[in-house]
Structure 1
């Protein structure tokens, strides 16, 4: 009998913003927690508004560009431009400044790789931010691992989180979660914007998750191009890199539990697409899947033909249930199409096939890092229960 487990956000939504009946900006701005050291701007207030400043005395116009909206800034007599946005959703957001038509990072913030570039980021305090906060608990180590890929004929890098006690408990071996980023991001996304290490630290400290290794690699991997007319488009080989290069390297360099029951894979958006294909093509390597805001039918919301989808990998529901311990899907309630439609179509296919899965909705978030942080928090608690 099929079992569909549907859960909603465990967090109780509270009133976070200040009420201002006159519609004026609430003047309780404080510096963003991801500012560069000593920088007072950008700032965030209790409404979730972002206020930015930049000195540009020769500029003709400057705008704050966040959430797909540009807000005009005002210059004072000294050439200092100031402006603020409308209230933003809680969590992390990319943004930039537009100076006389040129989009540039804000020099007041740390820089994050997203939207295909290094740029500014802002953190809007969230009512549920404690699950990824820096706390006085044992912390794991995030290491940068450089390696040469024969498939791409290039040097690559992944970040590897090892849990608290890894260095001291030298006889202990650990399960591994392979965690992937989304489109136009890279391996810095999860340890940076995603705060994956802090999420896992806090879960382990609270005894809500098993100690695990987390591997965060770059999902962009291509064969070298020969630049002939017939080979002008790059060919992705990320699945091959994962299976034949990354996993063997991690099992060699780290004290892993190198069996499929002790491996999980997950990804957000583009990464959800990639990781679903990887697990369904390599069920001898993985037994747990997490899709955050995506599946392999992206972007189609049409009914899925189970006979042809992923070469019929979901055709035998009973077999899928036997092979996958955790099949987990998450989505923000404010996500735009095609994500709700494509994930909805995928879930209908799972229901029809009697395939067990867990579905989670992140309340009040869109296609953004707060959705994916919450997704990791929920997903990680279900992994490796019988390691």
Structure 2
């Protein structure tokens, strides 16, 4: 049976950064503001220019009327054409048409076609500027003709090009201003947020609860940083408390509650590591198994509190007799074990056992002022002479301890196979 094809998740679209969003927002805002201002100014300027152009054409038409009045009265078409040509060439005029009193053409002047720019100016003027201006030519109050004047649009076209150039220049300046502003925002807004995000990532990935967000100038971002730091304080306290609880539980799991010595589990684990190292270096490891000979009598006659004091005193004396590299542990009840690693000579283990027995000779003072004497029986086993693993070495030392106890309480013996004083 054909297995169904698992659905393919669509590719993740990269998210824009805060800096790019702010930069685009600045550019859009600047573009809209400048465009609206430019359009408003151009509309107002076009209205004003239309009014100006209309007034100018009216004045020009009346001036031309005074000029051709005599030519109309006397019917001199050539003089009329020359007169309007002289004036029209100096003005922003595209066409002048003179008609007589009956409306018949009398004289005319037209601006030469010119290049493409001139034709474009006239087309723009025909759309944006007012239509031709017509005025009467009077002589002694009698209408002798009409004059129609149409503007060229050169000035208007120049103004339009200048306005568009100004808009482009303003847009360029706004882009530069938006870039500078975005850089400032990067320092004032984006950079603090990046720092906060960096601390958050360090806390999440590395559990670096000691990291803190630095103060910033912006009040809202500074408050956000303070709240985040307060949250980190709580997390750090919680982590420290959890670490202390874990350390306490770990210590309780691997140490004796009464004496503070390592327990059997930790002793066997460290003994196994020491045997592994000794197998590489070729050195010996010694184990001393100790038992208090009169502990049951002390516990039954003087009480459990006295027994606890005796066990604590034995543990303290064992610590004083050993090197820092050695390990002493309590296995439970009145049984203790000592690991001596490394050991170069078997005789050194015997000397240490005798020193331990000697340290037990002084009496132990109880809380009520009474004193009690105690003795220890010790069994000594060596690696690799008596066993090659931790369990076997402990069994050999335990058996040697019981032989020493049966032979004479308060003595020590080597495990079977190695001669030692009884």
| TM-score scaled by length of structure 1 | 0.17
Flag the structure with larger Rg: 2
More strand by share: 1
Instruction: For CA contacts below 8 A with separation 6 or more, give which structure has more relative contact order.
Output: 1
| TM-score scaled by length of structure 2 | 0.16
